Amino acid sequence: MQQAHWQAFITQFAALSWRQRLDSIALLNGTQRKQAASALIERTAQSRLCCPACRSRHIHRHGHANDLQRYRCVPCGKTFNALTGTPLAHLRHKSLWLDYADCLLNSNSVRKAAQQLGIHRNTSFRWRHRFLTLARTDRPRCLHGITEADEMYLLESEKGARHLQRPARRRGGHARQRGISSEQVCILVARDRTGQTIACVTGKVQLTKKQLLHCLLPVIDRDILLVTDGHAAYAAFARETGISHQAVNLRAGIRVRGAAHVQNVNAYHSRLRGWLSIFHGVATRFLPNYLGWRWILDARRILSAETLLKATLGDFPHMTVT
């Protein structure tokens, strides 16, 4: 290679992603990193390997296919591999999965990830929601101490639907009715002072006590102090469950009453809205996936592509409470 070409070549190194730099090092060392995803999948599956049909662990090796070891169940005769029964089953291009996991951790859009990996945008979209199928379920089991709860509303979106259930509107438009209406989707967010966060979609109507009993009751300690705004549903929920409750009157300008405030959860709302704006509209039916994705990033639960791939296969990192 001529010196001028070499200089032009090395100037592009700064634009390489972390994953691409590792690939470059592996190439120079004569090793193959394209099999890294397959090797990680095999290692992750070993501890719980069993027949997905009958759950028997009496299995034996049954050849290779698509860079993965296949197995045959002795009692029922079914064959399977480490991906059978997981969200990533039947997907191709395993060599790109770690790179795509990096794209998720960087909050890349569907098209940006597709362009970076050289795949079709539909493939990028399919992979996004397959990767988030199990990862989004890795949530705090319980909220402790002072817990703030507040709801936020997003305009309902039928993005990607073939047949709309309402008149079409320009993306990023406004509701036809003023205030809270059936055109908006309610997201309940509860967050304790350690940063543990629960976010769930409650529906297209104003928040009710019944929805709080369904979404909030299973994930809180009974000895918490629930801090909310003046919404009547929270007071009714607290009376029925017997938990301590304190409300701040935001409309009257009372935002803090001693240690009681909802600024922590409102800050999370702000970060969530800003992050969702990256994607230029999120379909309502996929909102739970995005809420789980945001929790992964905000809590820094998953920091590497390898950990995200393992979480997609059901091997979650240990949940720690600070």
Residues with Cβ within 8 Å of residue 301, at least 6 apart in sequence: 138, 295, 317, 319
Sheet holding 68-73, edge to edge: 59-65, 68-73, 79-81
| Each residue's pLDDT tens digit, 2-61 | 777 778 877 887 787 766 776 677 666 654 555 788 888 888 888 888 888 898 889 999
Plot region of 90 (φ>0 → left; ψ -120 to 50 → alpha; else → beta):
left
Whether residue 282 contacts residue 290, with contact meaning beta carbons closer than 8 Å, is answered with yes
* Residue 142 Cα distances to 37, 214, 217, 254, 295, angstroms: 33, 14, 10, 29, 15
**Residue 46 sits in the same domain as residue 154:** no
Tally of domains within the chain? 2
Give the torsion sign (CA, 29, 32, 36, 42): negative
Specify the range with the lowest mean pLDDT, choosing from 186-190, 241-245, 310-314. 310-314
* Full domain range(s) for residue 191: 146-161+178-300
SS3 state at 85: coil
**Residue 258 sits in the same domain as residue 193:** yes
Q: Is residue 278 part of a domain?
A: yes
**Residue 247 sits in the same domain as residue 129:** no
**Residue 192 sits in the same domain as residue 266:** yes
Query: What is the CATH classification number for the domain harbouring 213?
Result: 3.30.420
Q: Based on DSSP, count helices (H) and strands (E) in the chain, helices before strands.
A: 11, 10
| Each residue's pLDDT tens digit, 193-233 | 988 999 999 988 788 899 999 999 998 888 899 999 888 99
Q: Is residue 294 part of a domain?
A: yes
What is 4-61 written as a DSSP string?
A: HHHHHHHTTGGG--HHHHHHHHHHHHT---TTHHHHHHHHHHHTT---TTT----EEE
Higher pLDDT, 205 or 298: 298
| Each residue's pLDDT tens digit, 39-48 | 888 888 888 8
**Residue 41 sits in the same domain as residue 112:** yes
Neighbours of 311 (CB within 10 A): 23
In terms of C-beta density within 10 A (0-12 exposed, 13-18 middle, 19 or more buried), how is residue 31 classed? Answer: exposed
Q: Is residue 269 part of a domain?
A: yes
**Residue 157 sits in the same domain as residue 257:** yes
Residue 245 bridge partners (DSSP):
226
* Average pLDDT of the residues in 297-322: 77
Q: Is the pLDDT of residue 309 over 70?
A: yes
Residue 172 pLDDT: 63
Whether residue 265 contacts residue 248, with contact meaning beta carbons closer than 8 Å, is answered with no
Whether residue 223 contacts residue 203, with contact meaning beta carbons closer than 8 Å, is answered with no
Q: Is residue 14 part of a domain?
A: no
Residue 128 pLDDT: 93
Residues with Cβ within 8 Å of residue 235, at least 6 apart in sequence: 245, 247
271 band by pLDDT with thresholds 50, 70 and 90:
very high
**Residue 117 sits in the same domain as residue 156:** no
SS3 state at 276: helix
